[in-house]
Structure 1
Amino acid sequence: MMSVTFKEKPVTLLGNQLKAGDQAPDFKVLANDMSEVTLADSKGSVRLIAAVPSVDTGVCDAEVRRFNEEASKLGNVKVLTISVDLPFAQKRWCAAAGIENVQTLSDHRDLSFGKAYGVAIEELRLLARSVFVIDSSDKITYVEYVDEVTSHPNYEAAIEAAKAAK
């Protein structure tokens, strides 16, 4: 079990940590229109999934903007950002930020994604910053659990993994 910190204080992650080669677990989150979204909804596509604590923070804002910029160059890769922000807040934030290439999804209802991917922070009810690349056959090909939640992920490694996935 890896250790993750939030503002340099250790936090407890709920669920099992995943690794490359694992079958991607299913999850049920909410789109900005409150409709349910599952992993199966994007079956057959490569997915780059970034979990973030909240789009209303500086690092998360920068991360979603960076992946939004990169998403237009990734072809058949679906880029999803999942947080526990309410769908209404995500929709407002995306409109204000001009986010068009990333789908923001909310895990606020029951932490389905957070628990399935081992990123739900027990003490804060937020998601730990992490990135997963899932290929078109639902195998995880890349995982990064960022050890300090307030730090940026390795964008280049995630983007290269998404380009390499089939």
Structure 2
Amino acid sequence: MSNVTFKGTPVSLEGDTINVGQKAPVVELVGKDLSSFEVGGANGKFQVLIAVPSLDTGVCATETRKFNEKLAGKNGVSVNVISMDLPFAMGRFCATEGIENLRVGSDFRGAKFAKAYGLLLKDSPLAGLLARAVFVLDKDGVVVYKEIVSEITTEPNYEAIIAALSSSCGCGCH
């Protein structure tokens, strides 16, 4: 079990997180149109899995907008933002914010992603939501980069994520 903080107060994460070098589990999510899709595992593309507590917070919204911009048009890369938000709210957010370069997925049906990746917030006012984290997977579904953001209210290290993706896939991210 890992820990992060929320406004400086320790928060426990449920389960064991996956680490660099491990195969990422395949998990089914729900898209903004209520269709199901899978993330993780080998799918022939590099994957960026971005976990956020809720798109309805300032930090998560900013993070999603930045990834939408920074990773736009990267061939062979699937970018996914995952939260517990309902698909309808995700659709509204994407339409309002012009999010077109990444896919949003809801983990509201059983928190399968949160549990499989060890990111379910166990206590605090945010209990039941996802911790802020980013995983980069290679084409074989192996984790090549992992960041669990230690303070939930801060953004991830975009430069390190883009550098890891760039060095792994040569996709020209910058």
Give identity over the alignment, percent.
44
In the TM superposition, what is the alpha-carbon distance from 1:3 to its structure 2 partner? 2.3
In the TM superposition, what is the alpha-carbon distance from 1:164 to its structure 2 partner? 2.1
8 A contact 1:47–1:78 mirrored in 2? yes
Match of residue 158, structure 2, among 155, 159, 166: 155
- More displaced stretch, 112-121 vs 68-77: 68-77
Partner of residue 149, structure 2: 146
In the TM superposition, what is the alpha-carbon distance from 1:33 to its structure 2 partner? 1.2
Change (3 A) 1:148 1:89: same
Change (3 A) 1:80 1:107: same
Give the Cα separation in 1 of the matches to 2:121 and 2:27. 17
Partner of residue 97, structure 1: 97
Give the Cα separation in 1 of the matches to 2:64 and 2:42. 19
- Spell out the pairing of 1:18-33 with structure 2 (5 A cutoff): 18-33=18-33
Change (3 A) 1:72 1:146: same
1:135 aligns with 2:135: no
8 A contact 1:134–1:165 mirrored in 2? no
Which blocks of at least 5 consecutive residues in structure 1 are unaligned? none
Partner of residue 172, structure 2: none
Partner of residue 76, structure 1: 76
8 A contact 1:74–1:163 mirrored in 2? no
Give the Cα separation in 2 of the matches to 1:158 and 1:73. 16
Could you tell me the TM-score, scaled by structure 2's length?
0.90
Give the Cα separation in 1 of the matches to 2:8 and 2:73. 35
Runs ≥4 in structure 1, deviation > 4 angstroms?
A: none
Give the Cα separation in 1 of the matches to 2:71 and 2:64. 10
Give the Cα separation in 2 of the matches to 1:142 and 1:40. 13
Give the Cα separation in 2 of the matches to 1:104 and 1:139. 21
Partner of residue 38, structure 2: 38
Partner of residue 86, structure 1: 86
Q: Deviations over 1:17-61 (max 9, x none)?
A: 121101101111101111111126971000011100011111101
- More displaced stretch, 8-17 vs 63-72: 8-17
The amino acid of 1:22's aligned partner reads Q
- RMSD, matched Cα: 1.5
In the TM superposition, what is the alpha-carbon distance from 1:82 to its structure 2 partner? 0.1
Change (3 A) 1:39 1:49: same
Give the Cα separation in 2 of the matches to 1:51 and 1:165. 20
Count the aligned residue pairs.
Answer: 166
Give the Cα separation in 2 of the matches to 1:57 and 1:39. 23
SS in 2 for 1:54: coil
1:47 aligns with 2:50: no
